[in-house]
Chain A
């Protein structure tokens, strides 16, 4: 039977199948961070079970780290203890850790791809739902809970029922100013926040083929926001060019062998998916969300829809928006460009390109948080830092930051924030905060204008 990309990668990792039950799936790379790993380490210690394959684990500190004065001791006691715990655990079990301040430190889903740790055809897990990001390379990558982190520690495997497969095609050419973030926000607004639950999603068609790896990562990153455990894009020349020469990428003869295998991975023409969707690039415009889940998105120049659903009304009430209202010209005080969705160099290039020679509106606080130390360095090397500082944006140090507001980077209660992150849940960016998800371009334009703008008009 003809196989999909997902089938090929999944089947290559099956160690054992329980009759009428789940399969034992082998995990190539296990990424860990400070928040969802400590209880898993404890679990193994209590059972007196060693870590099975410490060399296949890579650790970073990202969720709970400050984005200012990273060279100083962390002020918050609990955060400091959590990071110390990660260091101790990694040292004890001989796990590679990119601690705060290390040149490879960064958000787990930014640093692993840029170091070449993420490669096509791999199985990758992390105790973080946005692990779906790594599927951009044609790998099976998904988020897991802490009990599963412990399972991978103990056996380098997980017990899983194979998800169903779905494919989303977007054909045609994206209009000017339409970013990868708009593509995924558009898809989720069309199919809803649980259309992907129980599925692994392959993105296919002209739009994804033409997209950079950074863009593909943005798309795959938000697969979980439509419920899909993972998203995937077939590896191609764009993928190989990106991976080649990176710190941990295969080299020499190993590269040639791997490349041959990677080229065999794309979905065969007559392979069948359990579910398919198809959209036209022409219909996609810059997007923004107005509610409290990522599916509540509209084209920036559209009006908030009418619905009498109680959950919909509760969301509008939280956001203090009215049905039928337009978001264009709404004053905004906070802008956040960062998170594992949009904190790669390309995102900052897009923002800088718009910002260059302009100044942010006086009332706006605009935070730029690079996804990693390497991105931070690139921002400086490419001269973007100067552009941002002249425009009055605040460039901070790498981390998850205001995406989930575990550290001090919080949006005050009642305030709107146009954010390039992935979730607009109630209180996600701080208690009582109100998040509007958008692309780095729309976020940058909002900071300059001090209000939401119809970016399409702006560009033309």
Chain B
């Protein structure tokens, strides 16, 4: 996994609540057996009309807004556990998703793919959306080590929480498989003890 330390970039605002993973990547694109290329169909049914033409009103089709941060409404990533949603966001070029609330499974999937989900307060989210909407070129600093999000132009700043273990993984590019494989003998011991207690019952 790629390391994540800090980035400074502009952002794309998508101020809608309850964005589910079916919207992020519709089920009909889940037939692939590899992880690549899902960015092409990210938010497919919002980006394109049913006849295949571009929906000019959707923010990803608006050249004014660019950057590696997606700012979204409350309860982002709810619904299906499909990790394809995290793959699609990452493949499209997003490194950070900012929202006031994330669904559990999506959050874990994002972290397992080097995409940082940052939960901010609803007030900070509103203000961030307003700033970015009015000034699309606004640069945003994300610092994982010190756990803050900072707007250079306005001086607004908020700290965010992240599990210490996950932070170490992201900063070093480690993943959970590496850790779990290092625990194999302990896992085998656990299995043996359970078997023993079952037999002796």
Binding site for B on A (CB under 8 A): 15-16, 18, 20-22, 24, 26, 35-36, 38-39, 42-43, 47, 49, 52, 63-64, 76, 78-79, 81-82, 85, 127-129, 143-148, 150-151, 154-159, 161, 163, 193-194, 197-198, 224, 227, 229, 257, 260, 293, 309-311, 314, 404-406, 413, 423, 425-428, 431-432
Contacts and interface: CB of A to CB of B under 8 A. Distances in A.
A16 B190 CA distance: 9
B177 A150 contact: yes
B163 A129 contact: no
Contacts of B131: none
A157 B187 contact: yes
Contacts of B73: 311
Contact of B181 (A20, A49, A64): A49
Interface string B178-190: 0111011011001
A335 to B, nearest CB: 20
Given A24-B187, A36-B82, A194-B75, A157 B104 contact: no
Interface in B73-95: 73-75, 78-84, 86
A15 B183 contact: yes
A263 to B, nearest CB: 13
B173 interface: no
Contacts of B75: 193-194, 197, 227
B183 A426 contact: no
Contact of A227 (B23, B33, B80, B103): B103
B181 A155 contact: yes
Chain B interface size band reads 35 or more
A72 B201 CA distance: 50
> Which of B78, B103, B108 counts the most chain A CB atoms within 10 A?
B78
Nearest to B112: A147
What 5 A-B pairs are tightest by C-beta distance, nearest first? A21-B165, A147-B112, A38-B33, A78-B31, A145-B109
B163 A26 contact: no
B139 interface: no
Given A146-B83, A257-B198, A431-B50, A85 B177 contact: no
Given A145-B112, A423-B22, A159 B180 contact: yes
9 contacts: A15-B186, A49-B177, A63-B30, A82-B31, A144-B105, A145-B108, A147-B175, A426-B22, A432-B50
Given A39-B35, A42-B34, A16 B183 contact: yes
Interface stretch (B13-21, B53-61, B63-71, B122-130): B13-21
Contacts of B164: 20-21
A454 to B, nearest CB: 28
B5 interface: no
Contacts of A22: 163, 165
Contact of B27 (A47, A197, A310, A405): A405
Contacts of A49: 177, 181
B201 to A, nearest CB: 5
B159 interface: no
B187 A18 contact: no
A82 B33 contact: yes
Interface in B147-187: 163-165, 175-177, 179-181, 183-184, 186-187
B186 A406 contact: no
A144 B86 CA distance: 13
A145 B27 contact: no
B93 to A, nearest CB: 20
Interface of B: 16-18, 20, 22-23, 26-28, 30-35, 45, 50, 73-75, 78-84, 86, 101-105, 108-109, 112-113, 163-165, 175-177, 179-181, 183-184, 186-187, 190-191, 198, 201
A146 to B, nearest CB: 4
A64 B29 CA distance: 11
Given A85-B33, A229-B104, A423-B20, 9 more contacts: A20-B165, A145-B81, A151-B176, A155-B187, A194-B103, A311-B73, A406-B27, A426-B22, A432-B50
B34 A145 contact: no
Contacts of B198: 257
Given A81-B33, A197-B101, A154 B83 contact: no
B2 to A, nearest CB: 14
Contacts of A406: 27-28, 30-31
B58 to A, nearest CB: 13
Nearest to A64: B31
A161 B104 CA distance: 11
B104 A427 contact: no
Contact of B33 (A39, A154, A293): A39
Nearest to A423: B79
Given A311-B17, A425-B20, A145 B187 contact: no
A158 to B, nearest CB: 8
A148 B31 CA distance: 19
Contacts of B175: 147
Contacts of B74: 194
Contacts of A15: 183, 186-187, 190
A167 B187 CA distance: 31
B83 A193 contact: no
B195 to A, nearest CB: 12
A63 B28 CA distance: 11
Nearest to A76: B31
B103 A197 contact: yes
